[in-house]
Amino acid sequence: MNPKRILIDTDPGIDDSLAILLALASPELSLEGISVVHGNCSLEQATTNGLSVLELAHATHIPLAKGCELPLVQPSLLAPETHGNTGLGYAKLPEPRIKPTPQHGSDFLIEKILSNPGEMTLVAIGPLTNIALAIRKEPRIVGALKELIIMGGAIRYEGNTTALAEFNTYVDPHAAHIVYHAGIPTTLVPLDVTYQCVLTSQDVERLQKLDSPIPDFVKDTTDFYMEFHDAYQGMKGCVINDPLALALTFAPELCEYQTLPVDVDISGGVSLGKTFADFYNYEKKPANMRVALGVRPRDFIELFLGRMEKLARSVRG
Amino acid sequence: MSPKRIIIDTDPGVDDAFTFLLALASPEIQLEALTTTQGNVTLEKATRNALSVLELGHASQIPVVAGSMYPLVQPLRASADVHGTSGIGNSRLPEPAAKPLPQHAVDYLIERVLAEPGELSIFPIGPLSNIAMAIRKEPRFTAAVKELVIMGGAISENGNVTPLAEFNIFVDPHAAHIVFHAGIPITLIPLDVTHKTLLKQEHVDRLMKIDSPISRFIKDAVEVYFKFSYERGFTGCALHDPLTLATVIAPELLTLKEYYVDVDYSTGVAMGKTFADIFNVTKKPVNMKVAMDVRGDDFIELFVRRMETLARSITG
């Protein structure tokens, strides 16, 4: 079978970087490009990080385009407490030699999607600004995109940014509103499932047996992330949200889904950015996405570790 | 003095069309392009109408570029009741021969503005979707635009689409919020002044004394708009969009005040309401000049005279 052709829209970001590595380590996938957005860190920093991670994994042939540096309507909100000042925790990757493509991230997505109608799966693991802008600028991408997998939202789970809202959605709720209602076949991967998937320090130690810069990066970047989870959420280990969303492109059986009408609050009150599903169909609106609500966490973590081991064997220092 | 170089971002629209004609009839203005957006009509009709009106004014060398098909977040809303189903009343302009440029209006605006920083003024007279997208797509756009002269909002005046909100801002309040707070020098022309700038039947009769497609177009274009305006208790139809050009051709007619202005996008009853902090209770810095008064009859007289001149130059 031909590998599934994917694009990643991302704000790397610790778990974003792990998702990029997982894509590169997975023969089921052909990663055809990355668009970068503000979010976990600034657009500039996220772009540098994206390029550095591609160099780390010897994947400099993959095009990366810079997108939006601000949310559509809300003021900028970055997450240095979660991802560190560089966005990659304690990892120190060399300054990248490769450059981003000159195109804007939204235009890059539009071109890739329109030139391959029905072919591209887009994995959105940051705030949805680039994708919302692309939809509004070129509405035909809605019909041309095969599938959209979004890491975002907290349906029956507490928020990780406000009491109610998940980070990616809270940072640009208006963009999320645009994307949710565009009519693209969408799968949402909310905190309900990602918070079951905890990478432990034992898991990270296991990778250390291989002599490669990949395990070193995973350790340095997740050490910081684990300290954050401990300090802010009283959790041992760290939640790798974005790699789970990425894994569902080729291993959908890791999750259980319900097809539901989903919306996001943009009314500006205490629940701004809250993603919610109408489980009982009170509002009689049609379902607009498939939502992952159950997960086999250990199967996913094992899959992730196996792929990182494979990548580590192919990328030597 | 060299003429002011402007791009009009527009959703034509009866009064939008009159704005193009006034720009073409005004030596103080050099109209460099029209960028179109949804609003009074769909994007497709807006673009067609823009091309047709330029052809009517013998100005088909001016490029037209199509932009946003939808507001950023709100659902699409087009207002056939005011502008007629074609968008320009009962006028029947021929299908335009010219085509829009292949570029997207957002990219066109970015390209033109960045190529000549500080040179180009943009006159947005429709919903602000294109301008907001340009600002978010290219952050350098903000510093390179000379100024924006926006038709929109109702400050101390009632709204014209909800009790509180004016149409252009209501259609895309999120875009308005982006634009108002971008840091670009802005002059706002709200309903407070446009409702004092009324074109009446006597003016149309005066224009009809000149045998020209311009006079006939104006007559046909305003029929629906007159009816709508009379129903709302006005004695004529408000020339909302053309009044933006008063900032160039007759600035002495406008009373401008400097205010902190914002727009409500919180989805309650005041959604899309544009408001000014007139007493500076929020202590926020001024972000625009707002036209709060106008010598409306003088502007209408100027408009009619310029249309007469244009009509005399375009006959047949």
* pLDDT for the residue B77: 83
Question: Is the predicted pLDDT of residue B270 greater than 70, yes or no?
Answer: yes
CB-based contact B178 A73, cutoff 8 Å: yes
pLDDT digits (tens, 9 = 90+) for A19-55: 999 999 999 999 999 999 999 999 999 999 999 999 9
- Show which residues on chain B lie within 8 Å of chain A, measured between beta carbons: 68-70, 72-73, 104, 106, 129, 132-133, 136-139, 174, 177-178, 265-268
Provide the CATH number for the domain around residue B103.
Answer: 3.90.245.10
| Cα A220 from chain centroid (whole Å) | 20
Shortest alpha-carbon distance between residue A68 and chain B (Å): 6
Percent of chain B with pLDDT over 90: 91
Nearest-CA distance from B69 to chain A in Å?
Answer: 7
Q: For residue A143, list chain B residues with Cβ-Cβ distance below 8 A.
A: none
Average pLDDT over residues A180-204: 97
| pLDDT for residue A71 | 98
Question: Does residue A1 have a pLDDT over 90?
Answer: no
Contacts A267 to B, Cβ<8 Å: 266-268
Provide the ipTM.
0.85
Identify the CA nearest to B65 among candidates B146, B162, B134, B157: B134
Q: Is pLDDT at B90 greater than 80 in this prediction?
A: yes
Confidence grade of residue B196 (pLDDT, cut at 50, 70, 90): very high
B240 as an active site residue: the answer is: yes
Task: Look at residue A165 in the predicted model and tell me its pLDDT.
Answer: 96
Interface touch A138/B267, C-beta < 8 Å: no
| Mutation target vs A (from B137, B262, B267; most A CBs, 10 A cutoff) | B137
- How far apart CA A106 and CA A126 sit, in angstroms, is 14
CB A34 within 8 A of CB A63: yes
Chain A: residue nearest B139 by CA?
A: A69
- Among B68, B177, B268, whose Cβ lies nearest the Cβ of A73? B177
Q: Give the mutation candidate from A103, A130, A137 for the B interface (greatest B CB count, under 10 A).
A: A137
Closest partner residue to B137 among A73, A133, A138, by Cβ?
A133
What does the pLDDT read at residue A171? 98
Chain A nearest-CA distance from B171, in A, is 15
Report how many domains make up chain B.
Answer: 1
CB contact under 8 A, B137 and A136: no
Range of the domain at B256: 4-313
Q: Mean per-residue pLDDT for A198-220?
A: 96
Given the residues B104, B177, B195, B240, the one annotated as active site:
B240
Dump pLDDT digits (tens) for A67-101.
999 999 999 999 999 999 999 999 999 999 999 99
CA distance A38 to chain B (A): 12
How much is the pTM? 0.92
Confidence of residue A216 (pLDDT cuts 50, 70, 90): very high
CB spacing of A133 vs B136 below 8 angstroms: yes
Mean pLDDT (whole number) for A254-261: 98
**Three-state secondary structure readout of B97-148:** CCCCECCCHHHHHHHHHHHCCCCCEEEECCCCHHHHHHHHHCCCHHHHCCEE
Q: Spell out the domain ranges in chain A.
A: 4-193+241-291
> In the predicted model, what is the mean pLDDT of residues B175-196?
98
Residues ≥6 apart with Cβ < 8 Å to B1: B28
Whole-number percent of chain B with pLDDT over 70:
98
User: Which residue in chain B has the smallest CA separation from A181?
Assistant: B73
Given a cut of 70, whether residue B108 has pLDDT beyond it is yes
Task: For domain A4-193+241-291, give the CATH number.
Answer: 3.90.245.10
- Contacts A–B by Cβ distance under 8 A: 54
Measured distance CA(A134)–CA(B133) in Å, rounded: 10
pLDDT grade for A297, boundaries at 50, 70 and 90? very high
Chain A nearest-CA distance from B304, in A, is 38
